[in-house]
């Protein structure tokens, strides 16, 4: 059976700890490979080598670092199908969805090709007599990225591209469930001209995460995953004096107003609720129709669309709309939440339980599921399901619908479908959520903006990619310089000497 190791100093290396985790084929339920889990000594070695390599990389001018990003982007395009197949093989998502995963990561790499402009400092000449004042942006040093299973290409690229373009070295710890894509990306970066050691890919479990958080050389940590783990990582990193950006769970709502185009809203909910089997932090998991008539008409449109969805392995190609969940545990959790919804009185309109696909009976599949008459007290509303389950919470007015969104503990993304500009502007202005869509279901910003949620969906002051990423991965140094040229003054004993 294939054993997957690490990427250290520009090459794949076998694990030395003797500890492994199983990598499953989600469609069959079978173990397809094993990934090495690094020991503390292996992690320490990777960090030490990264620290050595970072010195020269930081001294490389930003334009030359940007050229590595340009070559890297070209190689990602050339290897798009290979990367997508790796994503699908380990995650289970369809090939079109996997290509989208790679593409959205590539777009961040493309923005990082403009790193020299993002890394410019500021200057004021003649701030005082013969005095210049300027600020420089300098890399943090060695940073770490801890990335989740649901986007094996996109989120590692969101982390590594701006970190490396800013002059840092990075320790990347991908999810042990989907390690292969990160290793291929590391190979492509080396081919693009990244010096050995600047990117190290270390596979591991919680012990590696804790090692990263406690290591004195690591200066910054980026994480994406569940809220409890995000809060844990943020707290431990901050306690150890590290900069941290940690993104957690979500419960994303879409409000559907009576004046909305209900066919467009229903189509949007199908894609946003069931795409990637619902394993997206930006998935719409709650539909909030305003008014009974709107709700009835929306359900009427959703049911036939849901019943047409095809579930199966990625190898079925275009005949499949979404694939299995990542693990047996994930499947059992989602099925349990569906059961709790029934027990607590929600109306199960479409039941995705019991789905069996010929030849893939042991796969981790859950069919598309639709609930109506869900209330905020129910477990299926309170929990982030992370599966193909859409809940409908009916509200009588816009204000009630808005309050539902604002009272929720999460604040990642939200959307509203309406034909009224005043309502849309009011919603965008008042809602306490980090990313807002107006007649747009999944409002993930383009890569030259920044991605980030509010409330318990995010911990830290700066968001992912875009301008915030360059702020996160650099620190500001301010220099006050005086060059004497015949100006004669006595000793200054106060701060007014610059005036």
Q: Is the pLDDT of residue 167 over 70?
A: yes
Largest CA distance in the chain: 90
Looking at the structure, do residues 218 and 259 belong to the same domain, yes or no?
A: no
pLDDT of residue 1: 86
Give the chain's mean pLDDT: 96
The CATH number of the domain holding residue 214 is 3.40.605.10
Looking at the structure, do residues 11 and 143 belong to the same domain, yes or no?
A: yes
Question: What positions carry a catalytic annotation?
Answer: 281
The CATH number of the domain holding residue 371 is 3.40.309.10
Handedness of CA 85, 91, 92, 94 (dihedral sign): negative
Strand order in the sheet with 142-146: 11-13, 6-8, 199-201, 169-173, 142-146, 218-224, 243-247, 458-459
Give the chain's domain count.
Answer: 2
Looking at the structure, do residues 267 and 377 belong to the same domain, yes or no?
A: yes
Q: Is 444 inside any structural domain?
A: no
The model's confidence at residue 487, banded by pLDDT at 50, 70 and 90, is low
Q: Is the pLDDT of residue 493 over 80?
A: no
Looking at the structure, do residues 333 and 369 belong to the same domain, yes or no?
A: yes
Task: State which residues form the domain around 379.
Answer: 252-438
Looking at the structure, do residues 412 and 281 belong to the same domain, yes or no?
A: yes
Rounded to whole angstroms, the Cα distance separating 271 from 278 reads: 9
Looking at the structure, do residues 208 and 263 belong to the same domain, yes or no?
A: no
Q: Could you tell me which of 198, 199, 156 has the C-alpha nearest to residue 175?
A: 156
Q: Is the pLDDT of residue 488 over 70?
A: no
Looking at the structure, do residues 186 and 283 belong to the same domain, yes or no?
A: no
| Measured torsion, CA atoms of residues 131, 137, 139, 143, in degrees rounded to the nearest 10 | 130
pLDDT in tens, 425-481: 999 999 999 999 999 999 999 999 999 999 999 999 999 999 999 999 999 999 999
CA distances 170 to 32, 54, 146, 166, Å, are 28, 9, 10, 11
Strands 284-289 and 252-256: parallel
The model's confidence at residue 232, banded by pLDDT at 50, 70 and 90, is very high
pLDDT in tens, 371-419: 999 999 999 999 999 999 999 999 999 999 999 999 999 999 999 999 9
CA distances 143 to 106, 286, 319, 402, 420, Å, are 21, 36, 42, 39, 46
State what percent of residues in the chain have pLDDT above 90.
94
Q: Is 498 inside any structural domain?
A: no
Looking at the structure, do residues 18 and 39 belong to the same domain, yes or no?
A: yes
pLDDT in tens, 290-317: 999 999 999 999 999 999 999 999 999 8
Contact between 316 and 446 under an 8 Å Cβ cutoff? The reply is no
Rounded to whole angstroms, the Cα distance separating 281 from 442 reads: 10
**How confident is the model over 17-45, as a mean pLDDT?**
97
Beta strands in 228-314 (DSSP E): 243-247, 252-256, 284-289
Residue predicted with more confidence, 13 or 126: 13
Rounded to whole angstroms, the Cα distance separating 296 from 293 reads: 5
Q: How many CA atoms lie within 13 A of 331 on its CB side?
A: 22
pLDDT of residue 20: 97
Residue 110 CB coordination number (10 Å)? 17
Looking at the structure, do residues 38 and 178 belong to the same domain, yes or no?
A: yes
Q: Is 447 inside any structural domain?
A: no
Question: Is the pTM here over 0.85, yes or no?
Answer: yes
Q: Is 397 inside any structural domain?
A: yes
Q: Is 489 inside any structural domain?
A: no
Strand order in the sheet with 131-139: 122-128, 131-139, 474-482
Contact between 456 and 409 under an 8 Å Cβ cutoff? The reply is yes
Looking at the structure, do residues 238 and 305 belong to the same domain, yes or no?
A: no
pLDDT in tens, 95-118: 999 999 999 999 999 999 999 999
Contact between 146 and 222 under an 8 Å Cβ cutoff? The reply is yes
- Of 193-197, 235-239, 342-346, 494-498, least confident by mean pLDDT is 494-498
pLDDT of residue 484: 79
Looking at the structure, do residues 222 and 312 belong to the same domain, yes or no?
A: no
**How confident is the model over 162-169, as a mean pLDDT?**
98
Contact residues for 51 (Cβ-Cβ < 8 A; gap 6+): 141, 142, 169, 217
Q: Is the pLDDT of residue 497 over 70?
A: no
The model's confidence at residue 499, banded by pLDDT at 50, 70 and 90, is low
The model's confidence at residue 483, banded by pLDDT at 50, 70 and 90, is confident
Q: Is 497 inside any structural domain?
A: no
pLDDT of residue 491: 59
Q: Is 484 inside any structural domain?
A: no
Element at 62 (helix H, strand E) = helix 62-78
Looking at the structure, do residues 25 and 119 belong to the same domain, yes or no?
A: yes
Strands 6-8 and 11-13: antiparallel
Q: How far is CA 389 from the centre of its chain?
A: 21
Q: Is 94 inside any structural domain?
A: yes
pLDDT in tens, 313-339: 999 988 899 999 999 999 999 999 999
pLDDT of residue 492: 61
pLDDT of residue 143: 98
Contact residues for 64 (Cβ-Cβ < 8 A; gap 6+): none
The model's confidence at residue 495, banded by pLDDT at 50, 70 and 90, is low
């Amino acid at each position: 059976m294939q054993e997957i190791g690490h990427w250290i100093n520009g090459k794949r290396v076998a694990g030395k700890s003797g500890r492994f985790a199983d990598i499953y084929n989600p469609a069959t339920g079978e173990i397809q490979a094993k990934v090495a889990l690094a020991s503390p000594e292996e992690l320490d070695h990777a960090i030490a080598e990264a620290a050595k390599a970072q010195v020269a990389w930081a001294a490389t001018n930003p334009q030359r670092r940007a050229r590595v990003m340009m070559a890297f982007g070209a190689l990602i395009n050339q290897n798009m199908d290979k990367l997508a197949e790796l994503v699908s093989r380990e995650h289970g998502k369809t090939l079109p969805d996997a290509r989208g995963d790679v593409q959205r990561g590539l777009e961040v790499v493309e923005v990082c090709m403009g790193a020299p402009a993002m890394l410019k400092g500021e200057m004021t000449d003649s701030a005082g007599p013969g005095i210049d004042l300027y600020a420089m942006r300098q890399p943090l040093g060695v940073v770490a990225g801890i990335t989740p299973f649901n986007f094996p290409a996109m989120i590692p690229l969101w982390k590594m591209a701006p970190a490396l373009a800013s002059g840092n070295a990075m320790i990347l710890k991908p999810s042990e469930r989907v390690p292969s894509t990160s290793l291929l990306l590391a190979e492509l970066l080396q081919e693009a001209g990244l010096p050995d050691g600047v990117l190290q890919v270390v596979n591991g479990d919680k012990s590696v995460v804790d090692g990263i958080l406690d290591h004195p050389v690591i200066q910054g940590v980026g994480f994406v995953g569940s809220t409890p783990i995000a809060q844990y990582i943020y707290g431990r990193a901050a306690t150890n004096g590290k900069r941290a950006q940690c993104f957690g769970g979500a419960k994303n709502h879409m409000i559907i107003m009576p004046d909305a185009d209900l066919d467009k809203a229903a189509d949007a909910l199908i894609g946003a609720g069931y795409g990637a089997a619902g394993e997206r932090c930006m998935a719409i998991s709650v539909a909030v129709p305003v008014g009974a008539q709107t709700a009835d008409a929306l359900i009427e449109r959703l049911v036939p669309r849901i019943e047409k969805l095809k579930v199966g392995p990625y190898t079925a190609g275009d005949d499949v709309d979404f694939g299995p969940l990542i693990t047996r545990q994930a499947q059992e959790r989602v099925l349990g939440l569906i059961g709790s919804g029934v027990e607590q009185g929600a109306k199960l309109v479409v039941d995705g339980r019991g789905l069996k696909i010929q030849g893939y009976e042991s796969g981790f599949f859950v069919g598309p599921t639709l609930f109506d008459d869900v209330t905020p007290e129910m477990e299926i509303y309170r929990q982030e399901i992370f599966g193909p389950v859409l809940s409908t919470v009916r509200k009588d007015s816009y204000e009630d619908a808005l309050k539902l969104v604002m009272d929720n503990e999460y604040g990642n993304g939200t959307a509203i479908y309406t034909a009224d500009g005043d309502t849309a502007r009011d919603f965008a202005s008042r809602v306490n959520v980090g990313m807002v869509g107006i007649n747009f279901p999944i409002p993930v910003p383009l890569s030259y903006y920044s991605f980030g949620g509010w409330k318990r969906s995010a911990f830290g002051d700066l968001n992912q990619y875009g301008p915030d990423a360059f702020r996160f991965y650099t620190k500001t140094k301010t220099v006050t310089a005086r060059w004497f040229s015949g100006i004669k003054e006595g000793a200054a004993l106060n701060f007014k000497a610059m005036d």
